[in-house]
Every structure is written in structure tokens, then in C-alpha cells.
Amino acid sequence: MTDAKTKIDETVKANDVVLYMKGTKSMPQCGFSSRVAGVLNYMGVDYADVNVLADDDIRQGIKDYSDWPTIPQLYVKGEFVGGCDIITEMTLSGELDQLFEQNGVTYNKDAADKIREANG
């Protein structure tokens, strides 16, 4: 598991935005992963996706790494942000925009506004 923790740590620190998910950003394999990837894709965020279904050590390792039991998990600038419910809430409240702005992550503000309009 140490290898998984090292790999996770390196991935999280080497990329501004990382989504640990079931499936890939182009083909999510669960509804929760699909929702978070869909938000990031729609907002035009450049992010690394890690398919936990491809590696059991990573699948368990990411839960241990964050002390968070579920997947997907979003990381921004090396910090754990949350899972599907938290990302959904942050998107709708505008907090995700603020997080991206504070960390210099490029995203499409108009797309973020459209998500909020559609769900308002």
C-alpha cells in the first residue's frame, strides 16, 4: 500500500486538478463520477483523471490517503476538496469558482453560471 500512497501523493502534487473516479473523464463508469467529471468537463477545467477501477491498490489507497470512504474524490493544488455531493454544492454556490480562482485554475465562468442557472 505504500507504493499506492506514493503514487497517489505524486499524482496529486504533480497536477493542479486531479479527479479520482470510477472510469475516465471521457467514459465515467458510475453516476457520481459522471456528475463530477461532467461539471469539470463542462467548465473546461484541465484535469488529470485516475480510474480507480484499473488498480485495486489505488482504489483503496485513495480512500486511506484522504480518509474519505467514497469515490469520486477531487483534489485541487494537492488539497482534497471533496466527493460528488460536496462538489455539486460548491458548484451551485459558486464556491468551486472561488477555489479555482484562488488557485489559478482556468475554467469557463460562463459555463459555471449556466450550471447554476439550470439548477437555480
Spell out the per-residue pLDDT of the chain, length 120, in tens: 579 999 999 999 999 999 999 999 999 999 999 999 999 999 999 999 999 999 999 999 999 999 999 999 999 999 999 999 999 999 999 999 999 999 999 999 999 999 999 998
Say if CB 96 and CB 40 are below 8 A apart.
no
Cα 90 → chain centroid: 12
Q: Which helix (H) or strand (E) holds 96?
A: helix 95-102
Domain regions of the chain by residue span? 2-119
State whether the Cα torsion 117-39-42-16 is positive or negative. positive
30 is in an annotated binding site: yes
What is the topology classification, in CATH, of domain 2-119? Glutaredoxin (3.40.30)
Residue 34 has which C-alpha cell? Answer: 459522471
75, 18 contact by CB (below 8 A)? yes
